[in-house]
Chain A
Amino acid sequence: MKKISRRNFLLASGVVTVGAALAACGGSSSSTAASSAAPASSAAASAPAAAEGKVLNIWCWNDEFQSRFNDYYPEVKEIAADKSTTTLKDGTTVKWTINANENNNYQNKLDEALLNQDSAADDDKIDIFLIEADYALKYVDSDYVLDVKKDIGLTDSDLAGQYQYTKDIVSVDGSQRGTTWQATPGLFAYRRSIAKEVLGTDDPAEVQTYLSDWDKFNDVAAKAAAKGYKMLSGFDDAYRTFSNNVSAPWVTGTTVTVDENLMKWVDQTKEYTDKGYNNKSSLWDSQWASDQGPTGKVFGFFYSTWGINFTLLGNSLATPTAEGGKEEVGNGIYGDYAVCEGPQPYYWGGTWICGAAGSDNLETIKDVMLKLTCDEAIMKQITMDTQDYTNNEKAMNEIASSDYKSDFLGGQNHIALFAEAATKIDMSNAGPYDQGLNESFQNAFKDYFTGNVEEDAAKANFETAIKEKYPELTDVVWPA
């Protein structure tokens, strides 16, 4: 159960500080966003075709997109007191269906609804649904999703500003089937004080030279251990940096191929565990959280955009803000973190918007995608208001080259690093099985790290688990 909250936690990607978008009912901020976006919005958008349905059904698993929509979609007229509907200026009613993801509940219900899409009345048909990176291809690689260019009508130039990897993840055979408003490149956040003691420097550029590949990273781990520090907190901290850099997709035909890079993760993590380079925690558990705080003895954490200024910051304080603590140097280890690129580029999290086949609101869907994922002005506005790292290279580069500084990171402009990392992410090997296989892989090998089973038994357990999840997968090939 905890795992589920974690996953949703991380999928939710994006933003940064707490002071964000609770902005009452979006009335004021949406109007500012609308006015700032005015030049970019075309006249066509406000006059949808006559055949458009009057109800736009949006399915999601939490209210993140809902608040973005209510706050930044220029056509929003009013929002119901219970937030269950939003009315657009042309009279269209947006109906929100939010199903929590616990127990796979969101996907179960979405599947049922999509399978019944044909027989549903027009106003009950799903028009837009949201997906996470982990299982994006399950939906993208199906007949239930619209091509954003061919079916919905976005053009290459509309999408030109978006980071390539955010398009690759939701593309099948060159057909892009979803768009997102956020990019979630990851970095390695380290403790300046520990780096100084272990490496003699806390300068991000210099620390990066010590961590630029895995061999060097392992050397630093040994040095840190010699000084009584742990390099990483848990087993899975580094997993994404390995799994995002595989040489082929997980599955071809019905054969699962375990990438060599993943076995490197296994070997490295086993070594770290046996030598005490990690603290044997798991993502999101209390050990992991407290390792990020004032009493932590961990060198650093792999975190993406949203994790740094929210989760890491919150965990680093000695006195939480709710108890009167201030987000300032002196409270816990505020100011003691810095970020560098680390050994390999990766991303963590992300939510995509998909148009559902059978929708009778194509024009509205197009406009929503245009305004909320392609519009540079709105993207920048979202970043300014919420510190969400948005999916627009130009807007982000502007902030990167500004004099933006993060006090939490000791005055570093981390947006610059994010902007650099985001272009290096290569997700062309993403596949529909990623979530299930990655989860089973981490889970099976955790028993190996903790010493409960031998490596061969962990491999066998992985094979058993994936055949339960995906009966169609017949063979598993391990690297020689």
Chain B
Amino acid sequence: MVKEHVIPSITDMESAFEKYLAGMNILLEGAKAETGRTPKDVIWTKNKAKLYHYEPTLEKRFPVPILLIYALINRPYVMDLMPGNSIVEYLVNQGFDVYMLDWGTPGDEDRHLTFEHYVLDYIPRAIKKVLRNAHAEELTILGFCMGGTMSAMYAALFPGKPLKNLILLTAPIDFTPGTMGLYGIMTSEKYLNPDLLVEAFGNVPGELVDTGNRMVKPVTNYVGTYVTMWDRIMHDKPMETWLAMNKWVNDGVPFAGEAFKQWIRNFYQQNKLVKGEIKLRGRRVDLSNITCPVLNIAGKKDHICTLPQAEATMGLIGSQDKEFFVLDAGHIGLLTGSDAKKNLWPKMRSWLEVHSR
């Protein structure tokens, strides 16, 4: 069979060359995108942390404000990725009063920050500011990933008012070996000594944490991402979401040294939280003290917070009103993207509507 080869025209070649240039620019200079564009004000700062209040677009429909608490890894604008793909924007447009605690970028002087500081100093102070600004007496905390773990610890130590509701979004609570996938193997006591990293670097560099996250799915993260990029460029598909996500993935922040040691040793290696052995300034964290309504959300395809890690929360908390909601998505996929808009966001809205009056 003789195959005829079509000689490309000059125009085709120019177009292909431009696309090639666009792709190479992204690879060499990094993805550029405008993210976190929902209008907001900074109402409080503490050290590097900032508390944002998102400007309402409607008259406030619910008296109970929502405080979003993100993790200490990567930046929180993933929750406000871009217009049309932002859970913050969605909640604001539903009439909720939305706040976010951005931990900022730790410097060398912050290497001694621990979970005690975050849970016992930063979060309570932020809550007071939220209540004062919102003229409210109660609030809902929505914690994502490690932010959810910290939120759960806060709720266990300070049950009752002003905490009205707790939403845990892919929050790892149980770190039983064998339930964490590759993450569990990489962070085990046999192969990782966090003291070495902290002694060498002070704060653990964001690139190192990012590499660890990517190595859980290396083919997808190192090859698949760029296959998708070239496919989208070459076939003239929209690039905005890809650029925004790629920018966020590569925008890691250092992890405060002492907090990193605690996170690896007390949580991943010794699983102290579920055993009730975590103590913050002498106060034991007992998750059974959580009695407020809880919405616990997890993703089936989440390889960073696996299903068992999140599901274990349901058997540990003392709440009567609790719900475990599972989505067929990954760690970030359940928060952003078309599936999130169809599934997670409406679910969150309907739950909050009932619990925010």
Q: Is this pair of chains taken from one and the same complex?
A: no
Residues of A bordering B, CB below 8 Å: none
